[in-house]
A = this chain, B = another copy of it.
Amino acid sequence: MAATIDDNARKLLEEPNYAVVATLREDGSVHTVVAWQHIEGDKITMNSAEGRDWPANLRRDPRVTVTVVHRENPYEWVALRGSVVEDTHEGADEHINALSKKYIGQDEYPFRQPGEQRIRFVVEPENVVYVKQG
């Protein structure tokens, strides 16, 4: 069942805070990368490129846990556990540009590699834990 994201968690996700994206390797152990993220409604969007490990993991097992820590206060964070519900090339270039704007203030993603095919992932959280300590 889809979880609701409350206002505190929402703010954390709307701001340019980085995500640790945890996916499952073939042997069931955890693979992580640090990535950009955005919230759209009650879903999280992320962007990767064909050929990388975490898209391959998500296609084998769509389960993913996204942990976002406040960039100035590490005692405020949210962990969203859910699954990929959309995995598409469509709009993926526009999406990486929007993330680029959000995180580094550049309208066009400057790190594109020649021939790179971007992927837009949409994650529906089933469980949301928001923590603010101290």
**A48: CB under 8 A from chain B?**
no
Contacts of A20 in B (CB 8 A): 20, 22, 32, 67, 69
Taking a contact as CB atoms under 8 Å apart, the answer to whether B81 and A29 are in contact is yes
Contacts of A69 in B (CB 8 A): 18, 20, 34, 69
**A3: CB under 8 A from chain B?**
no
Taking a contact as CB atoms under 8 Å apart, the answer to whether B22 and A32 are in contact is yes
Interface size of A in residues (CB-CB distance below 8 Å): 26
Chain B proximity of A34: nearest CB distance (Å): 5
Taking a contact as CB atoms under 8 Å apart, the answer to whether B71 and A22 are in contact is no
**A47: CB under 8 A from chain B?**
no
**A5: CB under 8 A from chain B?**
no
Taking a contact as CB atoms under 8 Å apart, the answer to whether A81 and B34 are in contact is no
Give the one of A20, A64, A81, A133 with max B CB within 10 A: A20
Taking a contact as CB atoms under 8 Å apart, the answer to whether A24 and B28 are in contact is yes
- Please, what's the 1-or-0 string for A64-97, where 1 marks a CB less than 8 Å from any CB in chain B? 1101010100110101010000000000000000
Ranked nearest first, the 4 interchain pairs of A and B with the lowest CB-CB distance are: A30-B65, A22-B30, A18-B74, A20-B20
A-B contact list, 9 entries, CB within 8 Å? A22-B67, A24-B28, A24-B29, A24-B30, A28-B63, A31-B65, A32-B79, A34-B67, A34-B131
